[in-house]
Every structure is written in C-alpha cells, then in structure tokens.
Amino acid sequence: MKDQIETIQTEALARIEAANDARAIEDARVAILGKQGSLTKVSAGMRDVPKEDKALVGQLLNAARQAITSALDSKKTALQDAQDAEALKGIDPTLPGRSVHHGSLHPLTHIRHEAISILRRMGFALADGPEIEDEFHCFDALNTPEDHPARNEKDTFYFDSGKLLRTHTSSVQVRTMEGQAPPVRIIAPGSAYRRDEIDATHLSVFNQLEGLYVDTDVSLGDLKGTLEYFLHELFGPETEVRFRPHFFPFTEPSFEIDVKLHAKGQAPKWIEVAGCGMVDPAVFDQINGSRKDEAFSPDQVTGFAFGMGLDRLAMIRWGIRDIRLLIENDSRFLRQFG
C-alpha cells in the first residue's frame, strides 16, 4: 500500500504539471481526489492495514493528499497569472487613468425630496395610491360634474374598461379619507397624466404633489400660513407670494398661488405654482357616502387641500425654460445639478 501511495502521488504531480488549462486541472483533481479518485480508493483500504502499520500509512496518505492539493493550487495560480499577463499585453500601465463621471440625483428628485422634507416638518404624512383609477375616486368624489372638460376623452387617458390614468393625485386624498377618520394630514406626491400637447411648458405625464388637512376648526388662515411657509422655505424667505381667487369643483373658496420670479436679465414676473382652497362640503358628503358613516360631517370638520406641479417648481427653482429638458436625459444638462 505504501508503494501504491507513492506511485499515485508521483503520477498525480506529473499530471498536474502537464495540465495547461482550468479544465485539465479540474479533471486531474476529480481523478485523484474525487469520490472515485485513485487516492480516495486507496484511502478506503486503510481498514485492511495491520494495526501496527496504520499510523505510518495514514501519515503517507495525508502527506500525499497535501502535496497533491498544494500542486493543484499552485498550478491554478500559475495559469491565472499567465492569463492575466496575456490580457495585459499591449497595455501601457504608465498611462494616466480616465476620469469617472459620478452620477447625481435628477433635479425632480431634488425638488421632491426637499418639498416632502418641508411638509413633513409641519406634520404631514406621506400617502400613496394607484395610478390607474376609476371615475369615482378621480372625479365623482371630488364634486366634478359629468360634463366637466377633465372627464372628456380629449383630456384624459381612458382604458376600454372605463378606468383611467389619474389626472391628479387628489384621488389619494379620497382613498385616505375612505380609510382613515379625522384628523387627516397627508401629502401625496406622484405621477399624473393628461392629454396635453407636449411643448416647452406641458408634458402628457407630470409630477404632482398634493396635500390635505382635515380636522375640527381648520381655517383659511391655516391654509395660507402653511403654503406661505412652504414656499418661503423652498424659494427663500424674501419670496413674494400672492393668492388669487379661482374656481375648483372640490374646494370653496379656491385660490391659485403665484410667486414673483426674479430671473437674471429679465423683469420680475408672477408665476403660478399651485392651486388650493377649503374642502367643499360636497366632497365630505361623498366621502361619508362611501364610508357609510358621518366621520367627515361638514358640520363637525373642515379642511384645506392644495396641489402643485413638481416640474413647475423645479423650473422656477433653477430657471429651466423648457420642461422637456427634464425628460430628455441629456447628461450635459443633468450634470449641472450634481
């Protein structure tokens, strides 16, 4: 058995030395050390070795196994080194390296994070909802009549099933009130879809941020203070803000909000940034009907809602004149915001 072990070791080392690729090395390992390998079979004969010879034979087996394993590792390393050297042929390691451009957050992501952070500090919680909606959550619950232009197929993306791509994230407000009794204080950022002609100020899909606060004794002063604080935090404490009376089906009274833009080289001008108002009692009635209770009774609660386009906020913040730049993924444009 001693002679067998020496013979196997000698032949194994020679076979490993002659191996010229990873497959040959693996074949050698299996043939020698595998379950049916030559050294493994010899090891199985240890039970027949006389007791007085077991220690010596065991030492020879371990020494052979270690020598073969070491030879396999050394050969693998040598072959890998040879492959690496071949791959590096013709490459000058003294050449200077090429600079790597670091990625950065998209300007819409920047403005979204900052807007959410400001409103979270005022106690608003994040809420989410489906982008494929039904007419009740997108229109009916928001007191939008059937003949309203927004419900026309020329303005809204409808599916054959009758469902639609939400035209605003106000539907998230409806779903939140259906599942949560007052007080409610939430913001709903997300995508909205409308059949707008794409130009310098319009896209068919845009990013919106809407908010809702419902509780006892919520006033118009609360609405005004909240949004003035938000816009001052976003654009700076000196930002001029004005509220203009407007009409929305779901709020009464309603307002559009403008900020005065001071663009370099241009005369200051007012830019619309948001719509807002006190929640119309008719909306609360629709919610109560859906909930089948009086949790949002107009006699007991009041509330305000607001909505703004994050794309518009980003354009004002950084003086971007064409909204299409936000979706073209031109690295030369986006690199400015890194």
pLDDT one-digit tens code per residue, 122-178 = 999 999 999 999 999 999 999 998 888 888 888 899 999 999 999 999 999 999 999
pLDDT (0 to 100) of residue 11 = 85
pLDDT (0 to 100) of residue 101 = 76
Sign of the torsion angle spanned by Cα atoms 220, 221, 226, 228: positive
Judged against a pLDDT cut of 90, whether residue 57 lies above it is answered with no
Judged against a pLDDT cut of 70, whether residue 278 lies above it is answered with yes
The phi-psi region of residue 298 (left if phi > 0; otherwise alpha if psi is between -120 and 50; otherwise beta) is: alpha
Q: Could you tell me what percent of the chain has a pLDDT over 90?
A: 53
60-88 residue pLDDT tens: 778 888 888 898 889 899 988 888 888 88
pLDDT (0 to 100) of residue 273 = 92
What's the structural domain count of the chain? 2
Q: Are residues 72 and 146 in the same domain?
A: no
Q: Kindly indicate the confidence band of residue 31, based on its pLDDT and cuts at 50, 70 and 90.
A: confident
Whether 91 is covered by a domain: the verdict is no
CATH of the domain at 329: 3.30.930.10
Q: Are residues 187 and 259 in the same domain?
A: yes
Whether 94 is covered by a domain: the verdict is no
Binding site membership for Mg(2+): which residues?
A: 252
Whether 90 is covered by a domain: the verdict is no
Q: Are residues 71 and 119 in the same domain?
A: no
Q: Are residues 132 and 210 in the same domain?
A: yes
Q: Kindly indicate the confidence band of residue 104, based on its pLDDT and cuts at 50, 70 and 90.
A: confident
Judged against a pLDDT cut of 70, whether residue 322 lies above it is answered with yes
pLDDT (0 to 100) of residue 93 = 76
Q: Kindly indicate the confidence band of residue 314, based on its pLDDT and cuts at 50, 70 and 90.
A: very high
Q: For all residues of the chain together, what is the average pLDDT? A: 89
Q: Are residues 70 and 122 in the same domain?
A: no
Q: Are residues 116 and 73 in the same domain?
A: no
The domain of 199 spans 107-337
pLDDT (0 to 100) of residue 126 = 95
Q: Kindly indicate the confidence band of residue 216, based on its pLDDT and cuts at 50, 70 and 90.
A: very high
Q: Kindly indicate the confidence band of residue 185, based on its pLDDT and cuts at 50, 70 and 90.
A: very high
Q: Are residues 74 and 21 in the same domain?
A: yes
Judged against a pLDDT cut of 70, whether residue 263 lies above it is answered with no
Q: Are residues 39 and 184 in the same domain?
A: no
Q: Are residues 69 and 213 in the same domain?
A: no
Q: Kindly indicate the confidence band of residue 301, based on its pLDDT and cuts at 50, 70 and 90.
A: very high
Residue type, 87: A
Judged against a pLDDT cut of 80, whether residue 262 lies above it is answered with no
Q: Are residues 77 and 155 in the same domain?
A: no
Span 23-47, mean pLDDT? 82
Binding site membership: which residues?
A: 252
Note the pTM of the prediction, 2 decimals. 0.69
Show the 3-state SS of the chain.
CHHHHHHHHHHHHHHHHHCCCHHHHHHHHHHHHCCCCHHHHHHHHHHHCCHHHHHHHHHHHHHHHHHHHHHHHHHHHHHHHHHHHHHCCCCCCCCCCCCCCCCCCCHHHHHHHHHHHHHHHCCCEECCCCCEECHHHHCHHHCCCCCCHHHCCCCCCECCCCCEECCCCHHHHHHHHHHCCCCEEEEEEEEEECCCCCCCCCCCEEEEEEEEEEECCCCHHHHHHHHHHHHHHHHCCCCCEEEEEEEECCEEEEEEEEEEECCCCCCCEEEEEEEEEEECHHHHHHHHHHHCCCCCCCCCCEEEEEEEEHHHHHHHHHCCCCHHHHCCCCHHHHHHHC
Span 290-305, mean pLDDT? 95
Q: Kindly indicate the confidence band of residue 264, based on its pLDDT and cuts at 50, 70 and 90.
A: low
Whether 6 is covered by a domain: the verdict is yes
Q: Kindly indicate the confidence band of residue 279, based on its pLDDT and cuts at 50, 70 and 90.
A: very high
Q: Are residues 236 and 332 in the same domain?
A: yes
